[in-house]
Amino acid sequence: MSTFTITILVIISLIGFIVGGYFLWKYSKEKYNFNIFNTWIIIRGFIGSVAILVSIMAFFGLLNPENSIDSGFYLLFGLGILLFIWNFIVTAKNTTFLIAIMAFIYQLIAIYIIKLLVKKALNFFGY
């Protein structure tokens, strides 16, 4: 397979993934009156991802090299997982289990994009 063919397949797949996310959002909004990307889901996901990231950094000693693991690691990691489970339960309660599974993937991607935007904004302002 040529590079051009692979590039076209990747672009078509990416477009299909984005269109699929749009239709998942639209379907859950119209049928269940629930926005799978609502503000609280994104906030909980953002806090959860930051908690997991900080706990992993603490686990590998990137925050405090002398003491790599302490009780804060378990607390932050548990908090992050709990927030993601909370998001999943809220989505499943307001829609269906299948929509919640599919929405979870799109929510993770949305949270990652927001994290990148926050990082760019902080770098822009010199933080």
C-alpha 49/C-alpha 82 separation (Å) is: 11
Tell me how far CA of residue 10 lies from CA of 15, 16, 17, 24, 127, in angstroms. 9, 10, 10, 21, 35
Every domain of the chain and the residues it spans: 36-124
Confidence of residue 60 (pLDDT cuts 50, 70, 90): confident
C-alpha 5/C-alpha 22 separation (Å) is: 26
Average pLDDT value over all residues in the chain: 89
Note the pLDDT of residue 118: 87
Confidence of residue 22 (pLDDT cuts 50, 70, 90): very high
Reported as a single tens digit per residue, the pLDDT across 78-101 is 999 999 999 999 999 999 999 999
Stated pTM of the model? 0.81
